[in-house]
Structure 1
Amino acid sequence: MSQVSEIRQAASKLSIQERAELAVFLLEDLDDSPHSVSDEEVLRRRDEMASGAVTGLTMEEFRKACGR
C-alpha cells in the first residue's frame, strides 16, 4: 500500500473537525497555489451570493463537479 493510501485511510477515520484541520494544514503548506483567495475576492463573492447575482451549488452538485 502506498504512503498516500495509508494516509487517506487514516484520515478517513478522523472526525470532521480533525479532517478540516488536516485539510487546512495541507493547503497552507503548498507554495502559492491557485487555492489562495484574497479577502477582497471573498467579500465580492459573498456580496454576489447575497444579492442573488449568483447561486451556490448543493453538496451533491459540488461533489459531482469534483468527480465524486
Structure 2
Amino acid sequence: MTLAIPEDDARLLYCVPDAMKFLSIKSKDTIYALMRTGRLRSVKEGRARKIPASALHEYVALLEREAGEQQ
C-alpha cells in the first residue's frame, strides 16, 4: 500500500490538517493523540507541530504490520 501523497508534492513537513487528509483521519485530536503516544513522529517548528513525510510512511507501515499480526 502506498501513501497517497501527490507526486508533485515535494514538501518534507506537513501540517496537522494535511496529515489528517493523507491518513484519512477525521479528527485533529486523533492526530495529536498519535503524536503524543509516539505512534506518529512529529517535529516542532516554532509553536507548531509538523509531521515529516517519512513519519507518514512509517505510520502506514506500522498499521500494515499490526494488521498482519492480527491475521
User: TM-score, normalising length from structure 1?
Assistant: 0.30
User: TM-score, normalising length from structure 2?
Assistant: 0.29
Higher Cα radius of gyration = 1
Higher relative contact order (CA 8 A, sep 6+): 2
